Structure 1
Amino acid sequence: MNAKTVLPAVAMTAVSMVLTLAVVMMWLGEAVPWPVALIVGLGIDGGWLATLAYERRLAAQGDHSPAVTGVGWCFGLLAAGVLVAHALTSEESAGAWLAVAWLPIAAKALWLVHGLWERTALTPAALGAIRGIQQEARDEAAVARARLRSEAATEETRLTAVTGAGARVARVQAKTAQTLSRAWSTLEATREGEDTGRALTSVTTRVTPGVTPRWELPVWGPVEPVPALTLDAPPTLTDEALDALVDQIRHSESPALSYREMASRFRADGHSASEVRLRAAWKRVAA
């Protein structure tokens, strides 16, 4: 990329210097001796080339001088002005000279572009790292998109399966309810029918004479709750019985048990007492 920006600038600068020298030789060659015209042309080109070289040296050092840049633009404008003046005073080929009068300005612009490229250029290692980061970001984005598409397809499959199972359950429930409704209607019609009652009465009259049976089918209704079983609470120990029990547990081993050990064994044996009463009994026995 360096050659792509510097070669056009070098070529256009060289063409501009040659044209400037030729115009000065033709323009001043008739008025002054040709060595003088050659010195003037070389002076313009040399000053332009010197300022350009100094500006490139500062750029290579990472520095920049507005004064040097201004002098270089002045030489470029001077060369362009010489070409324009020659084109305006020339009776022949004035259009051709005007067509090339912009070359010095274009050469300076190309050097400006080349300087901007140098200040923003990156090394191959940095460019490789940037390409690696971009590729990694693209890979992560592609993986994330694939994961989202897979999760969406899985969720869609799951919802389809759940919806289908729910529809099947609803159909089975509806069919079962319809069957139960028809069966219950049949039973209800049988219970309420007069022929059924007479038939059952004629069958049971010989078994239970003088008794008219009542045939009724079970009817759905509210369920009466069964009362919960109540357990008798253990009797409450008196202070004297509690003190005796605490003293017995405390001295069941030698040396005597601590309060924590005594309380654990007291409750493990199935006895019941509040912590306040148990600690008070302990204090009384220990005293």
Structure 2
Amino acid sequence: MRASLKTVLPAVAMTAVSMALTLAVVMLWLGPVMPWLVALVVGLGIDGGWLATLAYERRLAAQGDHSDLVTRVGWAFGLVATGVLIAHALTAEESTGAWLAVAWFPIAAKALWLVHSMWERTALTAGALTQIRGIQQSARDEAAVARARLRAQAGTEETRLTAVTEAGARVAQVQAETARTLSEAWSTLEQARGGKGTNRALTSVTMAVTPDDTPGVTPRWELPVWGPTEPVPVPALESGPALTDDALDVLVDEIRHSESPALSYRDMAARFRAAGHSASETRLRAAWKRVA
């Protein structure tokens, strides 16, 4: 009720002022030319018709109804009152601007009643307003919680990605340093392999692959090779009678001298086993020593 007064009181006040101005103007305008009672009836007729249509329009609004005809009649009375005020202002010898300044009051009164009717059609009860405020507050709370959750998840993900990136960078750095160190080491080894004094230097730290007392063969040493190696396929050995020492010596000597220069022990052993012969490593090394 208090909220409705905010819109109805200005409309009532503007209507009352407009009716008073209309009646006064009619009395001033028609008073000199006709009896004042007739002028009063004319003025009250305009105000009464306007008030009657307004009351009927308000009754329909209270019932939830509306009539375009009544609305048009009400606006017509408002325009008549406005026209009377404008005509009086234009014909008045004095205070023309002042009368024109108040000539729009009837139209303003109708506009205020229109605003009040629109407020009534959209007004809600206190309970409904309380529920709406509760729903809006719940929505704001949920939105705030969702924003906080998203910010927390974004911060956590950023921290995780930073940690993973830093760890990956450290791993890449370690791998790069290791690869650089290995490259330098193998480069040094390769230079040592191709050096002029390699054999002389290796005689003091390694065992010769070929013995010194092999006629016509220069002792040589082998350094490890960096890179993938392909294993020599060795066929499965067939079980058979064990070779005697003499027969083993003959085979080892034949295989060893199958190429020139003579094969090393490693190459000889690989070919010995690839040919399908069977002998233990101990017997094979002993035969190699006897033959060499």
Fold match by TM threshold 0.5: yes
C-alpha contact (below 8 Å) 1:25/1:34 kept by paired residues: yes
Q: Please, what TM-score do these two structures have when normalized by structure 1? A: 0.68
- 1:90 alignment counterpart: 92
- Per-residue CA distance 1:242-281 (angstroms, 9 max, x = gap): xxxxxxxxxxxxxxxxxxxxxxxxxxxxxxxxxxxxxxxx
Q: 1:92 to 1:184 in 2, by over 3 A?
A: closer
Q: How does 1:226-245 map to 2 (within 5 A)?
A: none
- Percent pairwise identity: 75
C-alpha contact (below 8 Å) 1:201/1:213 kept by paired residues: no
Q: How does 1:129-168 map to 2 (within 5 A)?
A: 129-168=131-170
Q: How does 1:103-114 map to 2 (within 5 A)?
A: 103-114=105-116
Q: How does 1:34-73 map to 2 (within 5 A)?
A: 34-73=36-75
Q: 1:209 to 1:39 in 2, by over 3 A?
A: closer
Aligned equivalents of 2:61, 2:16: Cα separation in 1: 20
User: How many Å apart are 1:157 and its aligned residue?
Assistant: 1.7
User: How many Å apart are 1:174 and its aligned residue?
Assistant: 2.0
User: How many Å apart are 1:30 and its aligned residue?
Assistant: 2.5
- Per-residue CA distance 1:116-149 (angstroms, 9 max, x = gap): 2211222233333333333333333333332222
Aligned equivalents of 2:232, 2:144: Cα separation in 1: 63
Aligned equivalents of 1:201, 1:80: Cα separation in 2: 129
- 2:213 alignment counterpart: 210
C-alpha contact (below 8 Å) 1:191/1:215 kept by paired residues: no
Q: 1:194 to 1:94 in 2, by over 3 A?
A: closer
Q: Secondary structure at the match of 1:216?
A: coil
Aligned equivalents of 1:53, 1:210: Cα separation in 2: 139
- Per-residue CA distance 1:181-222 (angstroms, 9 max, x = gap): 3333344444444545236658979xx762464321232432
1:32 aligned residue (31, 34, 37): 34
Q: How does 1:119-198 map to 2 (within 5 A)?
A: 119-198=121-200
Aligned equivalents of 1:33, 1:170: Cα separation in 2: 112
State the Cα RMSD in Å.
Answer: 2.8
C-alpha contact (below 8 Å) 1:55/1:69 kept by paired residues: yes
C-alpha contact (below 8 Å) 2:82/2:103 kept by paired residues: yes
Q: 1:55 to 1:226 in 2, by over 3 A?
A: farther
Aligned equivalents of 1:57, 1:134: Cα separation in 2: 35
User: How many Å apart are 1:63 and its aligned residue?
Assistant: 0.4
- 2:22 alignment counterpart: 20
The answer to which of 44-53 and 34-43 deviates more is 34-43
Aligned equivalents of 2:5, 2:233: Cα separation in 1: 101
Q: Secondary structure at the match of 2:213?
A: coil
User: How many Å apart are 1:22 and its aligned residue?
Assistant: 1.5
Q: 1:115 to 1:214 in 2, by over 3 A?
A: same
Letter of the aligned partner of 1:224 in structure 2? P
Aligned equivalents of 1:226, 1:58: Cα separation in 2: 109
Q: Please, what TM-score do these two structures have when normalized by structure 2? A: 0.67
Aligned equivalents of 2:32, 2:82: Cα separation in 1: 21
Aligned equivalents of 1:76, 1:56: Cα separation in 2: 16
Aligned equivalents of 1:144, 1:82: Cα separation in 2: 63
- 2:4 alignment counterpart: 2
The answer to which of 193-202 and 160-169 deviates more is 193-202
Q: 1:28 to 1:186 in 2, by over 3 A?
A: closer
How many matched pairs?
Answer: 226
Q: Mind listing any 5+ residue stretches in structure 1 that lack a counterpart?
A: 230-287
Q: Mind listing any 5+ residue stretches in structure 2 that lack a counterpart?
A: 237-292
User: How many Å apart are 1:95 and its aligned residue?
Assistant: 2.7
Q: Secondary structure at the match of 1:78?
A: helix
